[in-house]
């Protein structure tokens, strides 16, 4: 791949055959484009302390509209961005090359924002008719330019939103998003966020969340409508608030109620007693040398069992040894993880290059609890999140036998608050997977409980995490599947 340093000079870029997506160019054919650029420069002079920038095309530009009912975006802007003193650098129809021109001609000069939100690329694969590779290079060039001009700013890079303009565009956008997820996985200044799942319903694009479909005649879905734009802002908000180091503009329990956050891949959400990113990197390194026969995927319940990479504690080393002996087993349990975190980790390569015989998945219990960083998910949402994790495992490890665990019981007594949502979630998972020949679903919750539903302290001292004795029960259940058989 050509050095991005070449992208800062149009003449050099032309000589080096850099694609048009990475060559800065303006749009003099549009009478409104130059005046808008001049207006943005005036706004920058008037607000040099702006802490937040939104950079992009019409989807960002649209926040300035207040046209009910389908294009009433200004209230969403005021709630999430205007109240923060943000500047709108969205220009309708722009591709990466146009953003590059604007950045080279003063649109961020003199600014020192905490975060820049970048949503660009859909026009490259759309009306500009550029392929996935060219679009990737264009987005890389924009990111590089922002890193150069705003050295103290973090970048929230949002994946290209889904559309239904053509199957070719959809394939290109999917390829671009997959590339961006991998390209920026280890960049401390850039966070990639793919929120496309919020526009999916029953595995298909919900075209009613795009106002283009209500034109006369109807057009292909491309621009989110009033509700869709609000959904987009809510999906971005938890990550944006964390990057800004401030509370969410809307209480977490009220965010994402019209879509499923359990399906949006995100990195760590909770500040815990260990370095989440360091464990992710350790898992990547361990996997390449271990060549695991078994991969364990989950949250702290898996994390705290035993095995490599070494966790902050090992609460069940004897049962681990009894089950696995000297077999190579990779522990991909991460404390506080939800399904969305596992989806992010899988997307960032934790299963790449592996060929295990078995995969054990135990995830979902944290989705049923809310914090300042994520709202409580419903049993249906959790089941959908678990199903997405299973699908990703099956896609990447098609030869592995998959064991999916039902969520373990929590709370000391049968009437404790989490018992019912856990039971409801497990019922949904059983319905979905019990007849799937590729998945072994195991709900062993009753093995931990006394007849009156009490969860014994000797098995779960803190009512959530097993003791050595509790892990032994899990180990015995897994032995029954043949995982630990000699």
Per-residue pLDDT of the chain (486 residues; tens, 9 = 90+): 334 444 444 444 444 589 999 999 999 999 999 999 999 999 999 999 999 999 999 999 999 999 999 999 999 999 999 999 999 999 999 999 999 999 999 999 999 999 999 999 999 999 999 999 999 999 999 999 999 999 999 999 999 999 999 999 999 999 999 999 999 988 999 999 999 999 999 889 999 999 999 999 999 999 999 999 999 999 999 999 999 999 999 999 999 999 999 999 998 888 778 999 999 999 999 998 999 999 999 999 999 999 999 988 899 999 999 999 999 999 999 999 999 999 999 999 999 999 999 999 999 999 999 998 899 999 999 999 999 999 999 999 999 999 999 999 999 999 999 999 999 999 999 999 988 999 999 999 999 999 999 999 999 999 999 999 999 999 999 999 999 766
CA dihedral 387, 401, 177, 79 (to 10 degrees): 30
DSSP conformation letters of 315-365: S-HHHHHHHHTTS-EEEEE-TT--HHHHHHHHHTTTTTT---SEEEEE--T
Please calculate the CA angle 463-467-473 and round it to the nearest 5 degrees: 100
At 34 the pLDDT is 98
Residues with Cβ within 8 Å of residue 31, at least 6 apart in sequence: none
- 366, 336 Cβ separation under 8 angstroms: yes
At 205, phi and psi to the nearest 5? -70, 130
Q: How far apart are CA 205 and CA 201, in angstroms?
A: 6
Where in the chain is CATH 3.40.50.1110? 4-259, 276-481
CA atoms within 13 A on the CB side of 255: 27
Given 163, 248, 300, 306, the catalytic residue: 300
| Alpha-carbon gap, residue 78 to 233, rounded angstroms | 11
Q: Are 112 and 150 in contact (CB under 8 A)?
A: yes
For domain 276-481, the CATH class is alpha beta
| CATH class (in words) of the domain with range 4-259 | alpha beta
Give how far Cα 244 sits from Cα of 86, 229, 371, Å.
12, 21, 18
Crossing angle, helix 419-433 and helix 379-396, to 10 degrees?
40
The closest alpha carbon to 402, from 367, 450, 363, 373, belongs to 363
Q: Tell how far CA 190 is from the center of its chain.
A: 13
pLDDT of residue 486: 61
pLDDT value of position 372: 87
Active site residue 462: yes
Give CA–CA dist 223/146, Å, rounded.
25
Alpha-carbon distances of 9 from 24, 90, 484, rounded to whole Å = 8, 23, 60
pLDDT at residue 150 in the model? 98
C-alpha to C-alpha distance for 140 and 59, rounded to whole angstroms: 20
What is residue 270's predicted lDDT score, i.e. its pLDDT? 86
Report the C-alpha gap between 238 and 107 in whole angstroms.
27
Nearest to 359 by CA among 295, 298, 291: 295
């Amino acid at each position: 791949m050509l050095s991005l340093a070449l992208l800062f000079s149009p003449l050099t870029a032309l000589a080096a055959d850099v694609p048009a997506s990475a060559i800065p160019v303006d749009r003099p054919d549009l009478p409104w484009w130059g005046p808008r650029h001049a207006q943005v420069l005036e706004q920058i002079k008037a607000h040099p302390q702006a802490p937040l920038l939104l950079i992009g095309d019409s989807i960002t530009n649209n926040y300035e509209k207040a046209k009910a009912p389908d294009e009433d975006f200004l209230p969403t802007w005021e709630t999430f961005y205007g109240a923060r003193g943000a500047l709108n650098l969205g220009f309708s129809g722009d591709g990466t090359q146009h953003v590059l021109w604007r950045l080279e001609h003063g649109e961020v000069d003199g600014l020192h924002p905490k975060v820049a939100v970048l949503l660009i690329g859909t026009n490259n694969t759309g009306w500009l008719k550029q392929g996935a590779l060219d679009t990737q290079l264009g987005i890389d060039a924009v990111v590089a330019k922002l890193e150069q001009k705003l050295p103290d700013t973090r970048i929230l890079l949002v994946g290209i939103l889904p559309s239904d303009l053509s199957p070719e565009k959809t394939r290109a956008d999917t390829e671009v998003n997959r590339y961006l997820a991998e390209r920026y996985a280890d960049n401390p200044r850039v966070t990639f966020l793919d929120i496309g799942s919020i526009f999916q319903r029953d595995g298909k694009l919900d075209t009613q969340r795009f106002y283009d479909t209500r034109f006369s005649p109807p057009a292909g879905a491309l621009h989110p409508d009033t509700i869709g734009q609000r959904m987009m802002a809510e999906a971005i908000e938890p990550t944006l608030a964390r990057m800004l180091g401030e509370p969410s503009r809307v209480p977490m329990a009220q965010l994402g109620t019209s879509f499923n956050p359990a399906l949006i891949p995100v990195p760590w959400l909770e500040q815990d007693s260990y370095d989440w990113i360091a464990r992710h990197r350790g898992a990547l390194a361990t996997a390449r040398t271990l060549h695991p026969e078994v991969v364990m995927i989950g949250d702290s319940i898996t994390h705290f069992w035993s095995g490599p990479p070494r966790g902050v504690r090992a609460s069940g080393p004897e049962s681990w040894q009894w089950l696995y002996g000297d077999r190579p087993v990779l522990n991909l349990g991460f404390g506080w993880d939800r399904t969305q975190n596992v989806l992010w980790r899988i997307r960032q390569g934790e299963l790449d290059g592996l060929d295990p015989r078995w995969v054990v998945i135990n995830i979902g219990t944290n989705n049923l609890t809310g914090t300042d960083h994520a709202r409580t998910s419903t049993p249906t949402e959790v089941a959908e999140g678990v199903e997405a994790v299973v699908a990703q495992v099956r896609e990447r490890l098609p030869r592995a036998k998959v064991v999916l665990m039902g969520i373990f019981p929590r709370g000391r007594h049968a009437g404790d608050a989490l018992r019912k949502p856990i039971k409801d979630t497990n019922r949904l998972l059983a319905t979905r997977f019990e007849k799937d020949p590729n998945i072994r679903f195991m709900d062993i919750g009753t093995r931990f409980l006394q007849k009156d539903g009490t969860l014994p302290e000797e098995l779960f001292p803190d009512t959530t995490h097993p003791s050595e004795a509790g892990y032994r029960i899990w180990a015995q259940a897994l032995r029954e599947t043949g995982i630990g058989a000699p």
